[in-house]
């Protein structure tokens, strides 16, 4: 039995993987076509003068990674996973699915939902038992195989992954929880999430990415999330990425909307050494609505590239993107957000806002919003800021006896809070508050109320993007250029 593939990516490895899984011929052909696309597509290198993250990813040594690492499907869950489930982002759940490395090892779904026709399973099983659905939706319209070199590699080597189908009219109140764990060094995992919400259905899907890989040897997580919201369907997708800083992460998340459908993305990125994130909303249906709420915190030498797209195609569509993050140490973040309004997308309303707060002179952030408007009945606006903490706000707190580190922490809390209040999952808000406090103080805080008490005590509710100062002595703010 195949336990692992030899390091490196090749056509032979694609065939061996598909043969091991016992896949139908159509899936093998899809994989092989994706491999051809991968070989014939150049890696994105970014633009001249950017922060060099895409170049760093293009130079990554993929050949040293094992494309597949098997885990016994009925194996007992590791202790780290069990502890994580106890402290998971949801108190009550209607379903659970867990992937270790390349294999989904555990699945739960309530009997009531099974009787209503809800399907929650690993994607390997869906390929065999629900082939018609997978063939129609898998990397066809939402995240096509040829989107980039990295999506083509994902399509060729996808393993494990989550499949959720919610039938027409079914409303699921308690969230579905999915966890993915990387445990093997010098390995690659290609997890794929395919969510289909039929007409007038609703579901909340919460996903967590974690790792227990020790040492400095790198590993790769390439994940794709495809969401299809049919007429009047509602999907709320939350993702917490807290991978170790020896993990490289490439993620593509997109949604396709039919008439009057709505999808909300809530994304929190805290980990990974390099994170290339592409998040989109394809608003084809008339009256559809999309929302993206994003939070990130980077330190050490982490590098993030975040691309968002609100693609308005139908009539009377609505979208809002709000992203906030803090950069410390020598981390680098590039944000590129776009609102695109197609020629027939009249009566569009779209908003984009991105803000970065730099706590270190060595940190670098670029936040670039964009508009492409091809219709005339449109309300669209965008804005972005990045800069250091305003010294006047620090002075205001410090003259009241607050130390500078504590004052910085309070301002960061006020900066994040308006976004955190938009996150509908309470446990995710608590987890993020604790993580932010931990990253700034170097110690884990057990009381989530520490965050709220500080904000109320010093009355900083109005501290948000206004905490960023773009003024000051140019010599003090000068950025030292370094070799990429």
**Cα dihedral across residues 53, 354, 224, 82: positive or negative:** positive
Q: What is the per-residue pLDDT for 71?
A: 81
Q: What is the per-residue pLDDT for 33?
A: 98
Q: What is the per-residue pLDDT for 86?
A: 80
428 φ, ψ (degrees, to nearest 5) = -70, -40
Q: What is the per-residue pLDDT for 204?
A: 96
pLDDT tens digits, 104-141 = 999 999 999 999 999 999 999 999 999 999 999 999 99
**C-alpha–C-alpha distance, residues 312 and 320, integer Å:** 12
pTM confidence score: 0.91
**C-alpha–C-alpha distance, residues 371 and 312, integer Å:** 11
- Residues making up the chain, counted from first to last: 484
444 φ, ψ (degrees, to nearest 5) = -80, 130
Q: What is the per-residue pLDDT for 469?
A: 60
**Cα dihedral across residues 460, 269, 92, 234: positive or negative:** positive
User: If the chain, 484 residues long, is cut into consecutive pieces of 10 residues, what is the mean pLDDT of each piece?
Assistant: 79 95 96 98 90 94 91 75 81 92 93 97 96 97 96 96 97 95 93 98 96 90 98 97 96 98 97 97 97 96 97 98 96 97 96 95 94 95 91 89 88 90 89 85 52 48 54 44 35
Q: What is the per-residue pLDDT for 439?
A: 82
Q: What is the per-residue pLDDT for 442?
A: 59
pLDDT tens digits, 132-190 = 999 999 999 999 999 999 999 999 999 989 999 999 999 999 999 999 999 989 999 99
Could you tell me where the DSSP H helices lie in 421-461? 426-441, 449-457
Q: What is the per-residue pLDDT for 474?
A: 41
Q: What is the per-residue pLDDT for 239?
A: 96
123: which residues sit within 8 A by CB, 6+ positions away?
104, 134, 158, 160, 161, 162, 163, 192, 194
Q: DSSP letters of 189-211? A: EEEEEEEEE-TT-EEEEEEEEEE
**C-alpha–C-alpha distance, residues 364 and 298, integer Å:** 11
């Amino acid at each position: 039995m195949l336990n692992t593939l030899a390091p490196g990516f090749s056509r032979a490895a694609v065939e061996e993987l598909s043969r091991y899984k016992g896949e139908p011929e159509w899936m093998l052909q899809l994989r092989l076509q994706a491999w051809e696309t991968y070989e014939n597509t150049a890696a994105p290198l970014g633009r001249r003068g950017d922060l060099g993250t895409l170049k760093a990813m293009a130079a990554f040594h993929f050949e040293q990674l094992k494309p597949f690492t098997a885990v016994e499907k009925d194996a007992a869950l590791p202790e780290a996973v069990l502890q994580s489930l106890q402290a998971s982002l949801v108190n009550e759940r209607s379903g659970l699915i867990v992937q270790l490395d390349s294999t989904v090892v555990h699945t739960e779904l309530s009997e009531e939902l099974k009787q209503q026709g809800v399907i929650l399973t690993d994607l390997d099983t869906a390929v065999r038992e629900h082939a018609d659905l997978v063939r129609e939706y898998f990397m066809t319209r939402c995240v096509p195989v040829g989107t980039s070199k990295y999506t083509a590699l994902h399509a060729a080597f996808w393993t494990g992954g989550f499949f959720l189908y919610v039938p027409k009219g079914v409303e699921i109140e308690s969230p579905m929880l999915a966890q993915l764990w990387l445990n093997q060094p010098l390995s690659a995992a290609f997890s794929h999430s395919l969510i289909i919400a039929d007409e007038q259905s609703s579901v909340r899907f919460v996903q967590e990415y974690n790792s227990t890989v020790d040492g400095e040897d790198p590993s790769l997580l390439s994940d794709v999330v495809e969401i299809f919201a049919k007429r009047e369907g509602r999907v709320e997708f939350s993702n917490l990425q807290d991978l170790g800083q020896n993990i490289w992460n490439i993620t593509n998340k997109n949604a396709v909307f039919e008439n009057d459908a709505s999808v909300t993305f809530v994304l929190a990125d805290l980990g990974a050494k390099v994170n290339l994130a592409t998040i989109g909303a394809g608003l084809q249906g008339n009256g559809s609505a999309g929302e993206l709420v994003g939070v990130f915190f980077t330190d050490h030498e982490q590098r993030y590239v975040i691309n968002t797209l609100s693609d308005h195609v139908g009539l009377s569509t609505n979208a809002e993107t709000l992203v906030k993050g803090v950069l410390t140490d020598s981390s680098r973040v590039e944000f590129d957000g776009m609102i695109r309004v197609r020629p027939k997308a009249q009566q569009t309303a779209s908003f984009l806002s991105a803000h970065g707060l730099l706590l270190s002179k060595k940190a670098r952030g670029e936040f670039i919003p964009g508009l492409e408007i091809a219709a005339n009945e449109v309300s669209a606006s965008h804005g972005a800021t990045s800069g250091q903490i305003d010294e006047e706000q620090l002075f205001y707190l410090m003259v009241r006896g607050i130390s500078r580190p504590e004052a910085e922490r309070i301002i960061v809390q006020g900066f994040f809070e308006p976004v955190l209040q938009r996150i509908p999952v309470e446990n995710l808000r608590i987890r993020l508050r604790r993580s932010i406090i931990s990253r700034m103080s170097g110690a884990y805080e057990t009381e989530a109320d520490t965050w709220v008490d500080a904000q109320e005590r010093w009355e900083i509710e109005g501290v948000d993007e206004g905490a960023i100062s773009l003024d000051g002595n140019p010599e003090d703010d000068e950025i030292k250029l370094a070799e990429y």
